[in-house]
A and B are shown apart, each in its own frame.
Chain A
Amino acid sequence: MNKPIKQHLIDPEICIRCHACVEACPKDAITHDDVNVVVDASICDMEMACIGPCPTGAIDNWLVVMQPYTLEEQLGWEELPAQADLSAAGGDTSVEALDDAVAALLAEAHQGAGGAAKAPASASHPTVNVNGVKNPIEAVVQGNYRLTAEDADADVRHIILNLGPGKFPILEGQTVGILPPGQDENGRPHGPRLYSMSSPRDGERPNTNNLSLTVKREDGGVCSNYICDLKRGDKVNLTGPFGSTFLIPEDPATRLIMVCTGTGSAPFRGFTMRRQRTMPAAKGTMKLFFGARTPESLPYFGPLGKVPQTFLEKHFAFSRVKDQPKTYVQDKLREDGEAIAPMLTDGGTHIYVCGLKAMEAGVDAAFEDIAHGAGLKWAEVKAAMRESGRYHVETY
């Protein structure tokens, strides 16, 4: 069976034929006749040099196809064809990244949603794979702060990477690849490891060209130790951005239920800060269910405390606090069941689950109970939400 590919195309209804992209493409993959500007799929290697100079955004179009559209076909277009449904052909239509290895990693992370992931309808259009393994972007470490208490059992760090003059168009919920230096046991360079961005798209502070990551030191972890040991001023090679579905809806009428453990909180920090910047006066649009062993080992415990409960409704679950019963995120979900139940049938509700694979089953069971109590079938609710881009799982 043929493997579907992601083809770079230009929307002829939006393009103004200024040919800035033709000039920008270092591979001469873009040509034109008197009518249309077209991309030769056999030459285009997704270097993305054309994206910035395009004044219209027409250049930023991608279709997943079994057979690339030829130049002749594209020259005859009056409008961009619709994305064909490739599910019948057995193809996977949700291309999250152009790099096969990264796509496989993301597909595995999104498995828990129980079907092909879709982006929220009002999410910003994501750009993927601006920088690949062959042309990573260099970032400079601007800060490396320990988030967990010195005596906590986990060492989780907040890393701020300055992109300098580089352009790296990343959205909240997208991931970056980090290339650790050195080689594996077979003498090959280490491949990229993926980390969710924990800052909003416009930087830690508005309009700073930086991004942050939330990384936990793993025993013997090649990349996590590399990152956790980084010093201010160190240089890091990044690839990405990756991921095109685990994104925040921009529609202010939408409500988010975010469930996470540990460093799974990273995208939700980005989501929260995004909404703090775009709709600071909003009330009751976000719920966060956050699990950790103790308050000392819960990343961002201090800063989270400062976000008003009316803006972000927080439910913390701690499983190792002395003299207290073990509590997990699923318990907190059930406690809030009465408030969650009516949200399950509301088309504005978006659910996000992020953390360790181990949390999936418990969270799923909790939603099942809540749905059941409201006379709903969770499997059906979940499928409908997923189909409409409102149910997202990213676990590892």
Chain B
Amino acid sequence: MLDLINVSYDTQIPNNVGLSSDRRVLKALEKWHPGYINWWKGLIPQNFQESLVYLRTAISVDPKGWAKFGYVKMPEYRWGVLLAPQVEDRRIPCGEHVGEPAWQEVPGEYRALMRRLIVIQGDTEPASVEQQKFLALSAPSLYDMRNLFQVNVEEGRHLWAMVYLLHKYFGADGREEADELLLRQSGSDEKPRMLGAFNEETPDWLSFFMFTYFTDRDGKMQLEALAQSGFDPLSRTCRFMLTEEAHHMFVGETGVGRTIQRTCEAMNAAGITDPYDINAVRALGVIDLPTIQKKLNLHYTLSLDLFGQEVSTNAANAFNAGIKGRYQEHKLEDDHKLTNDTYPVAEYLDGKILLKDAPALTAVNMRLRDDYTKDAAGGVGRWNAIIKKHNIEFALALPHEGFHRQIGIFNEAPITPDGNVISRDEWDAQRDQWLPSKADGDYIASLMKPVSEPGQYAGWIAPPRVGIDNKPGDFEYVQLHMA
């Protein structure tokens, strides 16, 4: 009998989808495999590829087996194809087909739309690994280096997940798209990645933490929406990816939190009470809170852009077709069709910001973005709790949705983080108060010195409160290869 919980190792590609009896797809994936390994090997500096990293690998998709820890060299990581268990008699959760049995094959009429969604999702996964490829060189600890690599290998696995769907359900087109996913390169002039935010290099660790907190959280919301898909294999794939995504959220939230913690501790120890005395705080070798706010402003707004147009017929079509649901669609109590509903969407007209009701169907992007903002605000509150605990008068805040936007109705609008509309000149003059300046970046870069003694941390970041897999403080999370 086909075992759909435990991972099978009878082919070169670990999987719980019965690949060994699916010759066509197995052959296609085996053909794709060497290209993937080449892509991986060309990415991260060689000595890290040779190092033993304490990583978790899923050996089954049920809660007990999916986080199996052990040392592994990254190129030997068992990337595999893992789908969450099939839910019996699952129904299409939304749109015009609501209540019909979920599709096990792609319905012909939605083929192109669905392929595009899968390719866009798939394109972000290798892109983020490319953006982060040099970070290990300046890791503030072996613990952080391990977390980076865990994020990287799991992004790699998410690419596998999307490539499997392309090979299995989209024939020759799918194979071509799967090859393209390895050809595009983050930041490349000729063949860039599909989304803007994924073509920027991640220059330092605070950027990495902000990226995993804000940008990976967009990924999480997109996966949440695709987990509601009426196309069951896509839903099952995304459901399993979400469990892994939680680790990425964790790296981001605790990374920023530990940076704040260290800054506050250093300020307390030095008797500095004014968080805006930036020179005095920087003299302590930590990152001042106003700069952390600027980084937050940048990454949050870049991530908002990833949700696309506030009012979108593409999004409406995907929802109506039952391909992409709303966040937690199965827990919402309405008719799941949105035919007569409205949803408040901001408008920007003649320098004024208004709230207007739009048809809920065309506003599903906006709704997902609002859910995202709510989710993102939670961690900001917890960061502020750290600051408060140190008796420092400062609070981080998410900027207004119209601030520093490049997509949607607020594109290029001169709006301040507080949501005030000002003139373009005024905005440009104050830009460096709100967003990281070159000097801010240089300062942060100056702190990025690697620390590779087990249990030791760079001076700008506090140690974590709990080890990975309950390991003690001085655990050697990465056994560095000494060439």
Q: Residues of A with Cβ closer than 8 Å to B? A: 13-14, 16-18, 20, 23-24, 34-35, 48-58, 60, 78, 122, 124-125, 127, 165-167, 169, 202, 206-207, 209, 250, 252
Bound complex: CA A129 to CA B185 (Å):
48
The distance from the CB of B134 to the nearest CB of chain A, in whole angstroms, is 25
CB distance from A24 to the nearest CB of B (A): 5
A166 CA to B59 CA, complexed, in Å:
9
B243 and A23 within 8 A (CB): yes
B422 interface contact, C-beta 8 A: no
List B residues 232-250 near A (Cβ within 8 Å). Answer: 242-243, 245-247, 249-250
Residue B27 interfacial (CB < 8 Å): no
Which parts of B439-472 form the interface with A (CB within 8 Å)? 465-467, 470-472
B63 engages A56 (CB within 8 Å): no
Task: Using CB atoms, name the residue of chain A closest to B379.
Answer: A16
Question: Which residues of chain A are within 8 angstroms of B23 by Cβ–Cβ distance?
Answer: none
- Chain B, residues 49-64, CB within 8 Å of chain A (1/0): the string is 0000000000110111
**Given the complex, which residues of B lie within 8 Å of A52, measured CB to CB?**
63-67
28 A-B pairs with CB atoms under 8 Å apart are: A13-B382, A13-B465, A16-B253, A16-B379, A17-B379, A18-B250, A24-B243, A34-B378, A48-B64, A49-B64, A50-B63, A52-B67, A53-B63, A53-B243, A55-B246, A55-B250, A57-B466, A78-B385, A124-B470, A125-B470, A127-B470, A165-B7, A165-B59, A166-B65, A167-B65, A207-B70, A207-B71, A252-B474
**Complex interface: chain A residues within 8 A of B7 (CB):** 165
**Shortest beta-carbon distance from B115 to chain A in Å:** 28
B243 touches A16 (CB 8 A): no
CB atoms of A16 and B65 under 8 A apart = no
**B107-147 contacts to A (CB < 8 Å):** none
Alpha-carbon distance A5/B465, docked complex (angstroms): 26
A166 to B92, CA, bound (A): 34
Name the A residues within 8 Å of B474 (CB-CB). 252
For the complex, is B6 an interface residue (Cβ under 8 Å from A)? yes
The answer to whether A16 touches B64, judged by C-beta atoms less than 8 angstroms apart, is no
What is the CB-to-nearest-CB distance from A211 to chain B, in angstroms, rounded to a whole number?
Answer: 15
Chain B positions within 8 Å of A169 at CB level: 470
Residues of the B chain whose Cβ atoms lie less than 8 Å from the Cβ of A48: 64
Residues of A within 8 A of B59 (CB): 165
Tell whether, in the assembled complex, residue A14 and residue B378 are in contact, meaning their CB atoms are under 8 Å apart.
Answer: no
In Å, the complex CA distance between A221 and B174 comes to 63
- Cβ of A207: which chain B residues have Cβ within 8 Å of it? 70-71
The 8 Å CB contact of A53, one of B246, B253, B382, B465, is: B246
Q: Please measure, in the bound complex, the distance between the C-alpha atom of A85 and the C-alpha atom of B467, giving whole angstroms.
A: 27
> Complex: how many Å from CA A53 to CA B245?
10
What is the bound-complex CA distance between A385 and B70, given in angstroms?
Answer: 35
Docked Cα-Cα span, A165 to B254, in Å, equals 30
**Chain A: CB-nearest residue to B68:** A167
Please determine whether B378 and A17 come into contact, CB atoms closer than 8 angstroms: yes
A165 to B63 Cα, complex, angstroms: 12
State which of A34, A50, A60 has its C-beta within 8 Å of the C-beta of B470.
A60
Expressed in whole angstroms, the Cα–Cα distance for A53 and B67 within the complex equals 7
* Closest A residue by C-beta to B60: A165
Residue from the set A16, A49, A50 with the largest chain B CB neighbour count within 10 Å: A16
The answer on a CB contact under 8 Å between A250 and B250 is: no
CB-contact partner of B243 in A13, A20, A60, under 8 A? A20
Indicate if the CB atoms of B63 and A124 lie closer than 8 Å. Answer: no
Minimum CB–CB distance for B326 against chain A, Å? 16
Knowing A53-B243, A55-B247 are in contact, say whether A122-B472 is a contact too (CB < 8 A). yes
Task: Decide: B67 and A18 in contact? CB cutoff 8 A.
Answer: no
Number of A-B contacts (CB under 8 A): 84
Complex Cα–Cα for A55 and B253 (A): 11
Assess whether A16 is in contact with B465, with CB atoms less than 8 Å apart.
Answer: no
Pick the contact of B250 from A16, A122, A124, A202 — CB < 8 Å? A16
B250, closest chain A residue (CB): A55
Given A16-B246, A166-B65, 11 other A-B residues pairs in contact with their CB atoms under 8 A: A18-B249, A24-B243, A52-B65, A53-B243, A56-B254, A57-B467, A165-B59, A202-B70, A207-B70, A207-B71, A252-B474
For residue A125, which residues in chain B have a CB less than 8 angstroms away from its CB? 470
A166–B379 alpha-carbon span in the complex (Å): 34
- B-chain residues with CB within 8 Å of residue A78 when the two chains form the complex: 385
- 5 closest A-B pairs by beta carbon, nearest first, are A18-B246, A55-B250, A49-B63, A57-B466, A55-B247
Flag B243-272 by CB within 8 Å of A: 1 or 0 each.
101110110011000000000000000000
Partner of B249, one of A14, A24, A35, A55: A55
Which residues of chain A come closer than 8 Å to B374, judged between CB atoms?
34
- List, in ascending order, chain B residues with CB within 8 A of A167's CB: 64-65, 67-68
The smallest C-beta distance from A287 to any residue of chain B, in angstroms, reads 23
Contact A14 B466 (CB under 8 A): yes
Q: Which chain B residues border A13 with CB–CB below 8 Å?
A: 382, 385, 465
- B60-91 CB contacts (< 8 Å) to partner A: 60, 62-68, 70-71
Residues in A with CB closer than 8 Å to B66 are 52-53
Task: Please tell me if the beta carbons of B466 and A16 are within 8 angstroms of each other in the complex.
Answer: no
Q: Which residues in B have their C-beta under 8 angstroms from that of A60?
A: 470
Contact check, B246 vs A20: say whether CB atoms are below 8 A apart.
Answer: yes
Contacts of B466 in A (CB 8 A): 14, 56-58
Residue on B with the closest CB to A60? B470
A24 touches B379 (CB 8 A): no
Residue of A nearest to B71 (CB): A207
Q: How far apart are the CA atoms of A23 and B465 in the complex, in Å?
A: 24
A49 CA / B249 CA spacing, docked (Å): 20
Q: What is the CA–CA distance of A387 and B253 in the complex, to the nearest angstrom? A: 37
Contacts of B465 in A (CB 8 A): 13-14
From B66, B242, B382, residue with most partner A Cβ within 10 Å: B382
Q: How far, in whole Å, are A124 and B467 apart by their CA atoms in the complex?
A: 10
A54 to B254, CA, bound (A): 14
Question: Distance (Å) between the CB of B80 and the closest chain A CB?
Answer: 13
Instruction: A18 to B242: give the CA distance in the assembly, Å.
Output: 9
Known: A16-B379, A34-B378. A57 touches B60 (CB 8 A): no
Q: Give the docked Cα–Cα distance between A252 and B472 (Å).
A: 11
Report B276 CB to chain A, min CB distance, Å: 26
A122–B475 Cα gap in the complex (Å)? 13
Cα separation A122 to B247 with both chains bound (whole Å): 26
* Residues of chain B with a CB closer than 8 A to A166's CB: 64-65
Complex alpha-carbon distance, A60 and B242, angstroms: 20
* B contact residues around A55 at 8 Å (CB): 246-247, 249-250
Q: How far is the CB of A132 from chain B (nearest CB, A)?
A: 14
Query: When chains A and B are docked, how far (Å) is the Cα of A268 from the Cα of B334?
Result: 61
Q: Which of B64, B66, B243 has the largest number of chain A CB atoms within 10 A?
A: B64
Report the minimum CB–CB distance from B372 to chain A (whole Å): 13
**Which chain B residue has the least Cβ–Cβ distance from A249?**
B472
Residues in B whose Cβ lies below 8 Å from that of A252: 474
Complex Cα spacing A90 to B245, Å: 45
Mark B370-414 against chain A: 1 for CB-CB distance below 8 A, else 0. Answer: 000011001100100100000000000000000000000000000
A165 touches B6 (CB 8 A): yes
Residues of A within 8 A of B385 (CB): 13, 78
Interfacial chain B residues near A206, Cβ < 8 Å: 71
Chain B, residue nearest A137 (CB): B64
Residues on the A chain within 8 Å of B242, using CB:
20, 23
- Residue of B whose beta carbon sits closest to that of A58: B466
Q: Please report the C-alpha to C-alpha distance between residue A250 and residue B382 in the assembled complex, in whole angstroms.
A: 31
Q: Which residue of A lies closest to B65 (CB)?
A: A165
User: Smallest Cβ distance from B248 to chain A, in angstroms?
Assistant: 8
Per the bound structure, the CA–CA distance linking A250 and B473 in Å amounts to: 9
Q: For the complex formed, measure the closest distance between the CB of B230 and the CB atoms of chain A, giving whole angstroms.
A: 20
> Distance (Å) between the CB of B380 and the closest chain A CB?
12
Once the chains bind, are A57 and B470 in contact (CB under 8 Å)?
A: yes
Q: When the two chains form the complex, which single residue of B71, B250, B379 contacts A56, counting CB atoms closer than 8 Å?
A: B250
A39 CB to nearest chain B CB (Å) = 15
Asked whether, in the complex, the Cβ of B472 is within 8 Å of the Cβ of A250, the reply is: yes
Minimum distance in angstroms from B74 CB to a CB of chain A: 16
